[in-house]
Structure 1
Amino acid sequence: MSYTQLPLHHHQIPASPLVLGCMRFGGEWDGLPITSDLVVEGHRAVEAALEIGINHFDLADIYTRGKAEYVLGQVLSENPGLREQIIIQSKCGIRLVGDDEGPQRYDTSAAHILASVDGILHRLGIDYLDILLLHRPDPLSHPQEIGDVLAKLHQSGKVRHFGVSNMGSEQIRLLQKHSRVPLIVNQLEMSLDKIGFVEAGVTVNRVQAKDNVFPYGTMEYCQAEHIQLQAWGPLAQGRFTGRVVEGQRPEIELTAELVNRMAKERGVTPESIVLAWLMKHPAGIQPVIGSIRPERILACRDAVETELTRYEWYELYSASCGRRM
């Protein structure tokens, strides 16, 4: 497949085209201890990912309240040498529960970022993170303070690269202006169901643009600045790959029919078609597969080699948005 080279490769990071999202590692979002079954489940997910060439793993300090990182850390401790073969990315900046200082909130203060990174490294049992993302835009963030703390983390060797999640181009531009280290990743919700990233461009100067919440210009800015766009939720919660869609809006049912038809014609899984649609975009989008089930991960095996024609890409897009171009 002649897909666009990942922007991460521009930064000398040999990342795979697909990422395994580890949000479901560790079981439920509760305070219960990690069981041996949860660690075995993590092993199986990592093995499935490695089997199909995935070397990039995505976490966040809040995933299953820290248990996701503990589970991956246990997998690493039981597989000597694996750490240096993979890319580990985590996020910080969300306080899940209220405390003496206030309610659940976003927090990108220097103190919270530093404490979060130390916690992430401790739970994973590693010395450094390959990539740290700021999880959500904090309206009380101070760009200079963030820039200084990112530089401190880089100089200490605790974090090698940095990025953001769920941010628009102007938010990134402001942070980058005050940061001595480059921001090289932006993770956003993008899929064949969440098509705002396409709509933001094609509906310019059209009435449809008024209903789109995807930040206009973000795709173009990230491409121009060699910022890796990552898609969370790329499989659209299974809406096009086997989940029952009866009773949902007609666009979902029609798109699911098209996905399955194209998959049968090629002899690949529906998951491969859905991911291939995202990956055909010239920005070099990296889908983050958020599953812990080996069979679901393995179903994405052929995505990188599945090449959709322009006709097929637009056919799927038109079905999803419910109108002709």
Structure 2
Amino acid sequence: MGRTSTRTVAELADTLVELVEAGYARRTGVSNWPADRLSSLAQHLAERGHTAVASYQFSLAEPDPARMNGNIHADAAVLRAVHDHRLPLVSWSSQARGFFARPDAGQNDVRPDAFDTEQNRARRRRCRELAAELGSSPETVALAWTLRHPGVWPSIGPKTPRQLNRSLDALHLSLTDEQAHWLRHGGERPAG
């Protein structure tokens, strides 16, 4: 369920519970709901003995909301709702649609890239710097950053075996708290 419904959250929760109890689904959830609505659904489902699954865009690169076509990035409010209700978060575009693997200029895509912002270009530069130090790739470092978040299950969409391997390499790349903070916020470079 992505767009706002005319039904109340309680009614939607009843329908989702019916689907699970009838065997049509094991778990149900939502994507792209504002944090307060997600929190309300989680509460209604918990009262019925169920846990919602949340699915939002979440990665080191934060997209420009004006280019997201109504989709919602898992911002601080959404992450707080996910944490408070102990919801699993399936993150889509967890590698920012290949943003960290692309060169700085010369994109071939004709549509505007929601991830191509000055802030994200700086994050990509930091990923490149850390990847070179760690003997890794920028996209692996960016996915390792996402994997550091408990309860987040990043989805990936590799098109080649090389892309798949670079994604899988993130499972074995442990970033320190300082490295993760630096990747996100910049500032003083953490010691090796």
TM-score (norm 2): 0.73
Q: Distance in 1 between matches of 2:40 and 2:83?
A: 17
Q: Distance in 1 between matches of 2:105 and 2:33?
A: 33
Name the structure 2 match of 1:219.
Answer: 79
Q: Distance in 1 between matches of 2:85 and 2:182?
A: 30
Q: How does 1:117-132 map to 2 (within 5 A)?
A: none
Structure 1 counterpart of 2:167, which letter?
C
Q: Distance in 2 between matches of 1:299 and 1:224?
A: 32
CA spacing shift, 1:251–1:171, aligned 2, 3 Å: closer
Q: Secondary structure at the match of 2:29?
A: strand
Aligned length: 170
Tell me whether 1:246 sits opposite 2:112 in the alignment.
no
How far the C-alpha of 1:295 sits from its partner, in A, is 2.6
Q: Cα deviations across residues 90-113 of structure 1 (Å, max 9, x unaligned)?
A: xxxxxxxxxxxxxxxxxxxxxxxx
Seq. identity, %? 25
Q: Distance in 2 between matches of 1:249 and 1:176?
A: 33
Q: Distance in 2 between matches of 1:178 and 1:295?
A: 43
Tell me whether 1:276 sits opposite 2:147 in the alignment.
no
Gaps of 5+ in 2: 65-72, 107-115
Tell me whether 1:152 sits opposite 2:6 in the alignment.
no
Q: Max radius of gyration: which structure?
A: 1
Structure 2 counterpart of 1:225, which letter?
H
Name the structure 1 match of 2:131.
Answer: 263
Q: Alignment partner for residue 308 of structure 1, among 169, 175, 179?
A: 175
Name the structure 1 match of 2:88.
Answer: 228
CA spacing shift, 1:256–1:175, aligned 2, 3 Å: closer
Q: Which has the larger share of strand? A: 1
How far the C-alpha of 1:298 sits from its partner, in A, is 2.0
Kept in 2: contact 1:189–1:231 (CA 8 A):
yes
Q: Secondary structure at the match of 1:164?
A: strand
How far the C-alpha of 1:228 sits from its partner, in A, is 0.8
Q: How does 1:178-193 map to 2 (within 5 A)?
A: 178-179=44-45, 180-193=48-61
Q: Which has the larger share of helix? A: 2
The alignment's C-alpha RMSD in Å is 2.9
Q: How does 1:1-325 map to 2 (within 5 A)?
A: 134=1, 136-179=2-45, 180-194=48-62, 216-241=76-101, 243-246=102-105, 249-281=117-149, 283-319=150-186
Kept in 2: contact 1:263–1:270 (CA 8 A):
yes
Gaps of 5+ in 1: 1-133, 197-212
